[in-house]
């Protein structure tokens, strides 16, 4: 069993690695930006999206199991903000495409929130005493 101090140290280590990866992504963006800016804006945005995917992958998969439940809570909070933004984008837009994408964003974020709560509930159930 990990002590709270060990968990805090692991969390600090993960935060340091995330900061290092973010700095590396920023440096890569500085190198890629002039090339991508000369091309289509879509290519530039796609490059940033792919770099964010890599950074996110390495940050999430390096999380210690003791921090999974708090991480799920934060992800649910982020998804709830996405739902609010998507509802605003859907309701305030006159464009049909914006309404369709807003509806898709609301639907996918709602599924993500529901799934996150189900996973968190299941994780917390593992720590309850059995048979009593």
Give the pLDDT score at 36.
Answer: 59
pTM: 0.47
Model pLDDT for residues 68-109, shown as the tens digit of each residue: 667 777 777 777 888 888 888 788 888 898 888 888 888 988
Give the pLDDT score at 83.
Answer: 85
Model pLDDT for residues 32-63, shown as the tens digit of each residue: 767 656 667 777 778 888 888 888 788 777 77
In the predicted model, is pLDDT for residue 1 greater than 60? no
Burial readout 108-127 (b: 16 or more C-beta within 10 A, e: otherwise) = ebeebbeebeeebeeeeeee
Specify burial of residue 23 (Cβ count, 10 A radius: 0-12, 13-18, 19+). Answer: exposed
Share of the chain above pLDDT 70, in %: 89
Give the pLDDT score at 37.
Answer: 60
Using pLDDT thresholds of 50, 70 and 90, give the confidence band for residue 13. confident
Of 60, 28, 61, which is closest to residue 47 (Cα–Cα)? 28
Compute the distance between CA of residue 73 and CA of residue 69 in angstroms, rounded to an integer. Answer: 6
């Amino acid at each position: 069993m990990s002590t709270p101090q060990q968990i805090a140290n692991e969390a600090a280590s993960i935060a340091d690695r995330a900061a290092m990866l973010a700095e590396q992504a920023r440096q890569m963006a500085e190198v890629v930006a002039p090339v991508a800016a000369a091309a289509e804006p879509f290519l530039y945005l796609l490059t940033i999206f792919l770099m964010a995917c890599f950074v996110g992958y390495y940050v999430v998969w390096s999380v210690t199991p003791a921090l999974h439940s708090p991480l799920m809570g934060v992800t649910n909070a982020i998804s709830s903000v996405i739902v609010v933004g998507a509802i605003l984008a859907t309701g305030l837009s006159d464009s049909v495409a914006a309404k369709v994408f807003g509806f898709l964003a609301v639907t996918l974020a709602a599924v993500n929130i529901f799934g996150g709560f189900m996973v968190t509930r299941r994780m917390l159930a593992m720590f309850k005493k059995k048979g009593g």
